[in-house]
Structure 1
């Protein structure tokens, strides 16, 4: 029986939140919230107020009046609302790539004598590139895990890859291509049993899938804030480090903001206590402003309710793809079981690159990932079920037009 998207939207307890996002009222179908989230309407007022009052009015005094504390304060909010992390373990600053580098370098330094970094070949390119660079820089090697690109790293695969030479394991909570949802506690235990540290990439889960870093015994984690956290293009990333590691966090980019006393301006570097030592340069204050609005919204809605909506949207996308696209040769390249799937759905067909280009011209915005993958990213609070139906009907129409 065909599911009516109007009924689904009418029964959605989070439907009203959609009106809080810029552009959600337009006919455009946005299937790329897992790459760049829509801005919140209140963010325009926040930015204007910041320019006119804090920046324009208080000027340099703003640092003493709160800006210096903002990376840690927002980090604690992130930890409480989205990451299952106690205070003093998460901080915001730098890009995802820079924080991955810092976390990997500090992790391998904390495991002297070990010679390998374990990474899967389908991890996000930045994770793989940084891991290879750190290995080259530190005289280590990378042990690669081959995975099914429609799934991800399993316990069996990881157990076969780690050993007494493993210094660090680098994994993604949600696979960027397939949306495979990794079993973080089980994989973390396997890494720990081998004596290794583990670094989790949360870019495709933070703000969409509940995370419990403290309960899962995670060592280190890094994530971006411009996807499901709606921080805007280029908004800074975050890094989490478990408290037991703080005294051993020897991050390699020793800037003034990570110093014990940033304004001492002394001749030598002394790291700040706790997670603040992961900072390097001046915090990107303007880039953090939109993130605060989204965190407030997520706290209001509740991350478990957000996940329930995400599951509903992706289940519906899988259903509609089965109804409209399978007979046209489209295959599902994501886990069918929602418990093993994050917030997006990957669909494969040899013509998906051409389909994606045609969709963009018609204001249906997914993204494309090789091989032949159309990625449907469904940001829970800004996406409706009717939007999903309308977008996938357009995918069908473009396939029909291209295949004649």
Structure 2
């Protein structure tokens, strides 16, 4: 376990400080990349071993009933629902964010057959845009993927838009869309609002129901700490569940999977969003990881997140020449990450990682730092900037090995 590196006045009275012990973090590492891959919750390995040895190993096929495997997607979905403001019965876990987007974008377009525009922005995560392009081409009905700058979305919503498809938090800059306002604007124009919560779920309060969102997706491996490639989740507002239809008609989305009928009958409610057999080992890891959130007040988590990010910005701007803030300065329109431009961003990040400060790089020149209040302290922030300032002052980043790019950046 990683211990506190030093002390900082802002850590006094931290209600989340004890949560750090819930994660198996390497000694000497300041981990600022939970917005890309959350760290290992300490109790997850024991849970996975139990699933493997006791449930699978002993119960075999009986485990689907005896150990509740068959209800796992719904059980996890409802637990995620608490974190994103969704009442029970509107979220299931499973598949990937890309596959889930294909499901709900298809369903959303079918709800507005007379319209042909999918509205998104240039800050959206590329896989969302790729899936929309692929669906557009597959349908071959004249649909258009219309992209505007993030700050121009509100003005681009008109009566030609079928679906407004946005990622709430920009993966590069951390810029945060106003979900309530944009959803209201979409509905006023007769459009459907579809949100990607990949950088939102587990990072701050999300209010899907209160914002009257129509559909949403999100991943399990970032702030939810479910492990690499963890199952994603999909939200369908209850008012749409009786009419929305998704095209991936797998047997677990059938009304009666074990009737083994030759024709497909969609399940009722959110279960229609299921497709094939769920990967139990990865689902069990995600379910166990969610235990960390059971007693977490998301308002407290958000307040600490803002404090960490504000401190980081102040420290960097006062001590680190050459870095230019890429994230919004206003915390109200920022997620739980801070990004800076630096001409040799990749090399700088590799130098930081070599010194035990792990963030990541996003092309063309962004160094990105995620702040997860469950295990990051204000002392960590200051210690990280100490190292960053030293690397910049000594030009330690200017080495060949730091400039040679790996496949994953």
Distance in 2 between residues matched to 1:213 and 1:159, nearest whole Å: 19
Structure-to-structure mapping, 1:291-330, within 5 angstroms:
291-325=286-320, 328-330=321-323
The answer on 1:111 being equivalent to 2:130 is no
CA distance in 2, matches of 1:204, 1:36: 11
Q: What secondary structure sits across from 1:57 in the alignment? A: helix
**The one of 218, 225, 236 aligned to 1:230:** 225
The Cα offsets for residues 267-309 of structure 1, whole Å up to 9 and x where unpaired, read as 1000000000001000122112232233222121221111111
CA apart distance, 1:5 = 5.2
Which residue pairs with 1:211 in the alignment? 206
Q: 2:373 aligns with which of 366, 370, 380?
A: 380
> How much has 1:165 moved relative to structure 2?
2.1
Check whether the contact 1:91–1:238 (CA below 8 A) recurs between aligned residues. yes
Matches within 5 A, 1:148-167: 153-154=150-151, 157-167=152-162
Gaps of 5+ in 2: 1-5, 399-409
SS in 2 for 1:171: strand
TM-score (norm: length of structure 2): 0.92
Partners of 1:51 and 1:266 in 2: CA distance:
31
CA distance in 2, matches of 1:202, 1:329: 32
- The equivalences for 1:68-217 within 5 A come to 68-80=70-82, 82-138=83-139, 139=141, 140-145=143-148, 147=149, 153-154=150-151, 157-217=152-212
Aligned twin of 1:12: 14
Contact 2:16 2:374 in 1 (8 A): yes
Map Cα deviations across residues 119-166 of structure 1 (whole Å, 9 max, x no partner). Answer: 101111111111111222223111111x2xxxxx34xx2243222221
Q: Which residue number in structure 2 is paired with residue 29 of structure 1? A: 30
CA distance in 2, matches of 1:364, 1:288: 30
Once the two structures are TM-superposed, the CA of residue 358 in structure 1 deviates from its matched residue by 1.6
Partner residue, 1:150: none
User: Which residues of structure 1 form unaligned runs of 5+?
Assistant: 148-152
2:362 maps to 1:369: yes
Matched residues in 2 for 1:302 and 1:44: separation?
25
CA distance in 1, matches of 2:9, 2:213: 40
CA shift at 1:168, angstroms?
A: 0.6
Q: Secondary structure at the match of 2:81?
A: helix
Give the TM-score taking structure 1 as reference length.
0.93
1:351 to 337, 344, 352: 344
2:284 is aligned, of 267, 289, 294, to 289
Question: Does the 8 Å CA contact 1:117/1:135 hold for their aligned counterparts?
Answer: no
Whether 1:239 and 2:221 are equivalent positions in the alignment is no
Mapped contact 1:249–1:277 kept (Cα < 8 A) = no
Q: Is the 8 A contact 2:120 2:153 kept in 1?
A: no
Structure 1: 4+ residue segments shifted above 3 A = none
SS of structure 2 residue aligned to 1:222: strand
Deviations 1:154-190 (A, max 9, x none): 4xx2243222221111111111111112110100011
1:279 corresponds to which residue?
274
Contact 2:121 2:153 (C-alpha < 8 Å) held by counterparts: no
CA contact (8 A) 2:196 2:218 kept: yes
Partners in 2 of 1:293 and 1:382 — Cα distance?
A: 17
Per the alignment, residue 337 of structure 1 pairs with 330
Query: Does the alignment pair 1:251 with 2:246?
Result: yes
CA contact (8 A) 1:100 1:130 kept: yes
Superposed CA RMSD in Å reads 1.5
Give the Cα separation in 2 of the matches to 1:340 and 1:162: 20
- 1:50-69 paired onto structure 2 within 5 Å: 50-65=51-66, 66-69=68-71
**Contact persistence 1:158–1:190 (CA under 8 A):** no
Higher deviation after alignment, 8-17 or 92-101: 8-17
Q: Find the aligned partners of 1:299 and 1:309 in 2 and give their Cα distance.
A: 17
Q: Secondary structure at the match of 1:398?
A: helix
Task: Report how far residue 346 of structure 1 moved.
Answer: 0.3
Q: Indicate the larger mover: 227-236 or 316-325.
A: 316-325
Give 2:405's aligned residue. none
